[in-house]
Amino acid sequence: MNKKLYALMAAPLLFAACNTPEAPAPTAQNETPVVESQEVVVEEKIAAPAADNGLVKYIDKPIIIEQGMLHINGFMGTLKPTLVSALKEDPTYVTAMGVCSAIAMDMTNSYNATTTDTKVRRTALKYRNPKNQPDATDVKVMEQLQGTVDFKPVAIDAGDHYRVYKPLQMEKPCLICHGDLDEMKPEVVKMIKTNYPKDMATGFIEGEFRGVTVAEIQK
């Protein structure tokens, strides 16, 4: 296939890959007053069974969710231009893998360097990058979120800070790097095995809960 054409096709795909196309949260997208964001019903499904499980204290504070989502969307939005330009140089999945892994961490660090009271990161139960390993609270929250159908964010009170968790959904393009090993390109599989020998982040199917982007907001 024509290389340029391919690059054009791959760009949005890779953007999607590292940037979660699901992201736009109505609550944080515009400067909606709190009134509207109250539609984010946190308690309804998630909090009820887990509200008091010893570790995780779910809260129903639209303003916190809104604040967290602003950072989560802001963070995700910084990935796009860098990825797209990297892709233009060598639009193969393998390069994409490298780009994805190098950039995701870099972007996380540089985004966090610009904020004072909020830190963002990504994590998952079945994670690839050991640097994205969840802590005990993350695990509890994600065990609840695994059953999510609306992929809406939830917030918790974690003592000296709040955490907003935005669930990420497996989309078709994600399967290139997180799908069934037998169906993935051998080059990609090889690269995963080399770079992430303890990778757990394959075998997902489309539509499934993949992990979260977390915003930690100091109180």
Q: Which residue in the set 71, 163, 166, 210 belongs to the binding site for ligand HEC (CB under 6 A)? A: 210
Residue 154: strand pairing partners: 165
Size of the residue set binding ligand HEC (CB under 6 A):
28
Q: Which residue in the set 11, 47, 97, 184 belongs to the binding site for ligand HEC (CB under 6 A)? A: 97
Residue 132 touching ligand HEC (CB under 6 A): yes
Cβ proximity to ligand HEC: between 32 and 92 the closer is 92
Q: Which residue in the set 119, 128, 152, 163 belongs to the binding site for ligand HEC (CB under 6 A)? A: 128
Q: How far is the CB of 78 from ligand HEC (least distance, A)?
A: 14
Residue 167: strand pairing partners: 212
Residue 105 touching ligand HEC (CB under 6 A): yes
Q: Which residue in the set 124, 156, 158, 217 belongs to the binding site for ligand HEC (CB under 6 A)? A: 124
The stretch among 1-9, 31-39, 52-60, 119-127 that binds ligand HEC (CB under 6 A) is 119-127
Cβ proximity to ligand HEC: between 52 and 180 the closer is 180
Contacting positions for ligand HEC (CB under 6 A): 16-17, 20, 93, 96-97, 100-101, 104-105, 122-124, 127-129, 132, 168, 170-171, 173-174, 176-178, 201, 210-211
